[in-house]
DNA sequence: TAGTGGTCTAGACCACAAT
DNA sequence: TTGTGGTCTAGACCACTAC
């Protein structure tokens, strides 16, 4: 390959492919040229072709499947919108956002009773070893997994009530359920970080390893008392987080 | 290298180094073994040593400097906390958060008058070509750049007032400045996405290319009227975004 | 001058997919 | 059987850094 601009060959090839992906010439799901084809087309070694593909993969634009090839990863509604509309409505907190975006939403869950780990205990302001109800969720949009989360509720709050099991009570949604037992959620804290997906998360989300995700720690409060805390993990290239914060009137 | 567990050698080496970084044996800023040393220690080719280092680099744990080596990137307060405390106080909106974290905070800026691009016009609900005041900021914590942002204010709102130039008026901070001219900010929208840093952003932030960043679009509103909109870019492995959302009382 | 990481070549063997 | 990407070897030249 003729190396102009002083830019390494693998970056030039990556730039070219990226452009084709972003402007639609390589459509979503399309197979990108194989390593062999890139070698021939640009007159470079396989290493260089592989490096170019590696750049796009770490950018989350493509994924590679051994024996098949590499394919464009961007979906049409590339970024799904989640949000902060915490209202006193009986609605599943996140799944409804997905469904309102025109996607069929469903989810699976598993609820178990267990002792609080030190980390969870600190977030719920309880003592490590106290009983909590842990519910693990996996959300699907049009049948594809797009979110995993794990919710923890102290049994000192929900134990013995008919909303003890989150998904089997008369109402759904943390706020509505807590209302039902006389606990009024006042605010929700969300703590957003970005990192690469853990192996098990990548597996559950059906994404390649090392893809970037948002890790959101969400806690519902009644004044200073945590009512529930939840770990939410979503692929960051599929999501846009939307927050609306009121300006305090106090001076 | 003896390949047990069926795990590729480069991932085993990466795992080993990652463990040493996370548990502190390789401290922040420390030099990790060179490629040559990894080759000798594990009896692998340079390619494999390089791949192991590449894994850690894409995870943001290390950076490499040609001619010197690779170094641990995690700082002690690895994640700086920014937030959503939008109050009617005279304080720089983001820099104060950094300084409260025990870091010396300063910033540079440049203000220019220009015509609104279509994108900016849409966000400010004005007509493309309308005059806006654009201010580009770069924030430093302990002398190191940690945030770049670009703010746009419609001159139809601030033009001719003494807060027209954001950094040269009698008060600072969007909310306080708007108060000063009788505009009451009611809420702030923040729109969070994650992506890799653009070349110029990486340069301004002094980070390697392809590092992940948070891209935050922030807009101050007075009811339905945008008062200001701002593009904020921060390295996502240095930041933790904290949001507190009140639960609406209406049923 | 010696060591470092960045780039690149030219091969190799493998498991897996498609046919 | 052929093509694919995943892994890996054994080199090379370069620019930059440290001494």
Q: In what order do the strands lie in the sheet with A80-82?
A: A80-82, A239-246, B187-196, B212-222, B225-235, B144-154, B131-141, B105-115
Q: Are A236 and A212 in contact (CB under 8 A)?
A: yes
- Tokens (6 digits) for B205: 């932030």
By C1' distance from the Cα of B49, the closest nucleotide is: D8
- Looking at the predicted structure, is the pLDDT value of residue B121 above 80? yes
**What is the pLDDT confidence band of residue B58, given thresholds at 50, 70 and 90?**
confident
Residue A192 DSSP symbol: E
Judged by a CB distance cut-off of 8 A, whether residue B236 touches chain A is yes
CA distance linking residue B194 with residue B215, whole number of Å? 6
Please judge whether A193 and B246 are an interchain contact, meaning their C-beta atoms are less than 8 angstroms apart.
no
**What is the pLDDT confidence band of residue B91, given thresholds at 50, 70 and 90?**
very low
Which of A14, A245, A249, A251 is most worth mutating to test chain B (most B CB atoms within 10 A of its CB)?
A245
Judged by a CB distance cut-off of 8 A, whether residue B242 touches chain A is yes
The CA radius of gyration of chain B, in Å to the nearest whole number, is 23
**What is the pLDDT confidence band of residue B123, given thresholds at 50, 70 and 90?**
very high
**What is the pLDDT confidence band of residue B17, given thresholds at 50, 70 and 90?**
very high
| A100-145 per-position pLDDT tens digit | 556 677 888 999 999 999 889 999 999 999 999 999 999 887 777 8
- The phi and psi torsions of A186 (rounded to 5 degrees) equal -105, -35
- Looking at the predicted structure, is the pLDDT value of residue A251 above 50? no
Interface list for B 67-96 with A (CB within 8 A)? 79, 84, 86-88
Which among A88, A194, A241 has CB closest to B251?
Answer: A88
pLDDT computed for residue A205 by the predictor = 84
> Over B4-46, what HEC string results?
CCCCCHHHHHHHHHHHHHHCCCCCCCCECCCHHHHHHHHCCCH
**What is the pLDDT confidence band of residue B167, given thresholds at 50, 70 and 90?**
confident
CA B42 to C1' D9, in angstroms, rounded, equals 14
CA distance linking residue A228 with residue A214, whole number of Å? 20
Please judge whether A187 and B236 are an interchain contact, meaning their C-beta atoms are less than 8 angstroms apart.
no
Q: What is the dihedral of CA A80, A85, A86, A88, to 10 degrees?
A: -120
- What does each C-alpha distance from A167 to A134, A136, A170, A177, B14 come to in angstroms? 12, 11, 9, 10, 41
Distance of CA B192 to the CA centre of its chain: 11
| B200-213 per-position pLDDT tens digit | 888 888 777 667 88
Highest-pLDDT range among A86-100, A157-171, B134-148, B152-166: B152-166
- Looking at the predicted structure, is the pLDDT value of residue B190 above 60? yes
Judged by a CB distance cut-off of 8 A, whether residue A46 touches chain B is no
- Looking at the predicted structure, is the pLDDT value of residue A189 above 60? yes
Judged by a CB distance cut-off of 8 A, whether residue B192 touches chain A is yes
pLDDT computed for residue B251 by the predictor = 46
Look at the pTM and tell me if it is higher than 0.75. Answer: yes
pLDDT computed for residue B126 by the predictor = 94
| A21-63 per-position pLDDT tens digit | 877 788 888 999 999 999 999 999 999 999 999 999 888 888 9
Residue A184 DSSP symbol: -
Mean pLDDT, residues B119-141 = 92
pLDDT computed for residue A76 by the predictor = 44
């Amino acid at each position: 390959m003729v190396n102009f601009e002083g830019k390494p060959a693998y970056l030039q090839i990556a730039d070219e492919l990226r452009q084709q992906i972003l402007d639609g010439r390589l459509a979503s799901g399309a197979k990108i040229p194989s390593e062999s084809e890139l070698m021939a087309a640009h007159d470079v070694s396989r290493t260089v072709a592989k490096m170019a593909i590696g750049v796009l993969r770490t950018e989350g634009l493509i994924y590679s499947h051994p024996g098949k090839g590499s394919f464009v990863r961007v979906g049409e509604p590339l970024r799904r919108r989640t949000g902060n509309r915490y209202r006193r409505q009986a609605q599943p907190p996140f799944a409804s956002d997905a469904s309102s975006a025109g996607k069929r939403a469903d989810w699976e869950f598993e609820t178990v009773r267990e002792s609080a780990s030190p980390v969870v205990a600190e977030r719920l302001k309880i003592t490590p070893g106290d009983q909590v109800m842990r519910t693990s969720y996996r959300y699907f949009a049009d049948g594809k997994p797009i979110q995993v989360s794990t919710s923890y509720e102290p049994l000192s709050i929900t134990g013995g009530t008919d909303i003890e099991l989150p998904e089997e009570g008369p109402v759904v949604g943390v706020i509505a359920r807590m209302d039902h037992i006389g606990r009024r959620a006042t605010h929700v804290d969300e703590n957003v970080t970005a990192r690469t997906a853990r192996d098990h998360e990548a597996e559950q989300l059906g994404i390649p390893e090392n893809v970037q995700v948002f890790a959101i720690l969400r806690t519902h409060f009644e004044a200073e008392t945590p009512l529930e805390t939840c770990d939410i993990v979503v692929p960051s290239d599929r999501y846009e987080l939307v927050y609306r914060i009121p300006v305090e009137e106090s001076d």
